[in-house]
Structure 1
Amino acid sequence: MTNNIISFQISFKGTIYPVQKWNAEGTVEELKLHVQDLTGVPVERQKLMYKGLLRDNAQTLVNAKIQDGVKVMLIGSKDEDIRQVQEIDKRVDRIRTTPVRKVKAFKSGPNKDDIRYNFHKITVIEEFPEPEKARKLLERLRDDRGVRHVMKQYQWSVGELTELTPFERTILGYNRNKGELISLRLRTDDMAGFRHYDSIRKVLLHELTHNVWSEHDHRFHQLNRELEIVADPKTFGGTRLSNDAVYTPASDDEVDSAITWEAGSYRLGGAARNLDNLTPDERRNLRAKAATMRMTKEDVDIEEGCGSKST
């Protein structure tokens, strides 16, 4: 076997497809055409992974570091898979044709706030694999101590918490009509498993923020940060619940003392500066901008994957 001829494997949904005696000087695009014949996944829906995503179709396998004996992972959907999911989407939409009515407040009884400020219905897509695991995930979110604390503190009542179909791969979650329905992506793109609980929980807090603010502006980011603090079990009301450090909500003066101006943008930290000359509105805007600057890459991904809408 010459150095330019290699044999390797394509892994797709638990099945191994051998690729024998392949020209290492061939391009990723040529390999994708062969993979289409092997698996039935169209080229335009293929993601080939080997030490990262193979993004450049013109790149040779040599430059992509694909060598003899390696395993390349394929992520993608066949036409038949997409048709099945579309049919499931239609059935789920028919199930939800009846508007969710808000639950009336209870006037008496034990734990009435737990009942009143809650997610009043949980729905999963029964046709998808392991629906019982999906339901347990949503129930865990509903019963999460930090999420329950947020719901009670802000007196929010959400009509329905649902599983989001993974057919629309660009959406991680959405909030319809400020709490009528919140839908979350639970499953990985390849439908082989479930997303990490902490990531789903963070998306839920993002969507709960849409109960108040529709646009992703500085007011939204400020409230979203507040919810993440309120939902942290170690910080409920500034009361110590463990040996870890505890957060106590700061006064306006304390917050202002932590904000400095640097290189034309706001940041947190550094020495305090005198903001006495600012109006109350300017001080609030400064704090909000500081909160926005703390967005992580995960925050950006969640915002880009938010499909919330209000009608």
Structure 2
Amino acid sequence: MSSPIIISVSHRGTTHPLSLLPHATLEYLQQRLEELTSVAPENQKLLFKGKQNVSSDAAITEAGLKDGTKVQLIGPTAEELGGLKATESEHQRKERILRERAQRAPVKVRSTGSSAADPRYTFHSIEPLPHLPNPSSARDLLTKLANDPAIRHVMNKHQFSVGVLTELAPHEQPHLLGLNVNAGQAIKLRLRTDRYDGFRTYKEVRRVLCHELTHNVWGDHDNNFKELNSTLNKEVAEFERAQAAGTHYLGSAGFDAPQSALEAEAQAYVLGGSRVLGGASTSSATDSPEERRRKVLEATMNRLRKEEQELEDRCGTSAPEQ
């Protein structure tokens, strides 16, 4: 008689040890997990070192599961899906009422926020690592990122959906700042300092998040990726500037029309007053206001290039093999 295989499946901070016979199928495993977590098999995503594209009637050993394997389960519960559908229905009802009001009495509205967010385009779950210090503080930071108005704006605009927003443990992957799993199935961010004595600054982590969100569309760090990533960062900066100014108008304030997404991103940061991005300036007292603006813009672009190169070097995401 074959000896059982012991695996551990983690789901939202809870670890479920399972004892399975080697010939047990993946379908059987999914049924067991549904009993434990209320996540239906069709909504389950299992992350482990092994073969991912295996039919449900294959044995667990054929998928690469063996004694001691650690598996991460991602997926919404039946209750959460019911709540999501109810939220979508309520959203549709409100949209209908607004349309009817606009048809009856059209008015000009001066708005400082984005249009109503689609509940599909969000982070569907937040999971700090429970074995690291201060998991409640990590959850607070992840929640702040997930609810950041500028991040929600770009996610809704570009129709980004992320299954799980979680963190990377510095001691496990010290070279990484971020990782996007399967184009949005999960995004993992480096929240903590190397010595675990605190957390990295919010804007540093948020910039990594924009980088990893770009991987929802593009796997490789090619020109397509760079253009979209710069666009996301520009839109975040512009959104915050517009909120502060109380308007959606985003002028160039003396700058020429940007020639690339990176230049547009740099302009947005300069106009938004993010001087820290510009670094040291070479302006002199004899420079005209236009020349000083040009130098600040150039310094900001150089700083953004360096930051983005570091993010690429410390990003664990790559395009899937063909």
TM-score, reference length from structure 2? 0.50
Whole-angstrom CA distance in 1 between matches of 2:231 and 2:157: 12
Higher helix share: 2
The corresponding residue for 1:157 is 161
- CA positional deviation for 1:257: 10
Question: Are positions 1:296 and 2:271 aligned together?
Answer: no
Whole-angstrom CA distance in 2 between matches of 1:161 and 1:143: 12
Whole-angstrom CA distance in 2 between matches of 1:121 and 1:158: 8
Q: Cα RMSD over matched residues?
A: 4.1
The corresponding residue for 2:239 is 236
8 Å CA contact 1:239–1:246 kept in 2: the answer is yes
The corresponding residue for 2:232 is 227
Q: Which amino acid aligns with 1:125?
A: L
Question: Are positions 1:175 and 2:150 aligned together?
Answer: no
8 Å CA contact 1:222–1:292 kept in 2: the answer is no
Whole-angstrom CA distance in 2 between matches of 1:237 and 1:126: 32
Larger Rg: 1
In 2 relative to 1, CA 256–206 (structure 1 residues): closer, same or farther, beyond 3 Å? closer
Encode CA deviations 1:189-232: one digit per residue, 9 max, x unaligned: 11111111110000000000111111111111111110011112
Whole-angstrom CA distance in 2 between matches of 1:181 and 1:248: 36
Encode CA deviations 1:120-173: one digit per residue, 9 max, x unaligned: 011111111111000000000000011000110011110000111112110000
Mapping 1:1-311, distance limit 5 Å = 96-100=71-75, 107-110=88-91, 113-166=117-170, 167-232=172-237, 235-236=238-239, 241-242=244-245, 247=250, 254-256=257-259, 295-311=304-320
8 Å CA contact 1:238–1:246 kept in 2: the answer is no
Moved more, 292-301 or 151-160: 292-301
8 Å CA contact 1:158–1:179 kept in 2: the answer is yes
8 Å CA contact 2:142–2:165 kept in 1: the answer is yes
8 Å CA contact 1:240–1:246 kept in 2: the answer is no
Q: Which amino acid aligns with 2:200?
A: R
SS of residue matched to 1:205 = helix
8 Å CA contact 2:184–2:213 kept in 1: the answer is yes
Name stretches of at least 5 consecutive residues in structure 2 with no aligned partner.
Answer: 1-12, 17-46, 49-68, 95-115, 263-289, 292-299
8 Å CA contact 1:172–1:203 kept in 2: the answer is yes
- CA positional deviation for 1:248: 5.0
Whole-angstrom CA distance in 2 between matches of 1:137 and 1:179: 19
Q: Which amino acid aligns with 1:305?
A: R
In 2 relative to 1, CA 124–95 (structure 1 residues): closer, same or farther, beyond 3 Å? farther
Name stretches of at least 5 consecutive residues in structure 1 with no aligned partner.
Answer: 1-87, 260-268, 271-290
Number of corresponding residues: 191
Whole-angstrom CA distance in 2 between matches of 1:172 and 1:157: 20
TM-score, reference length from structure 1? 0.51
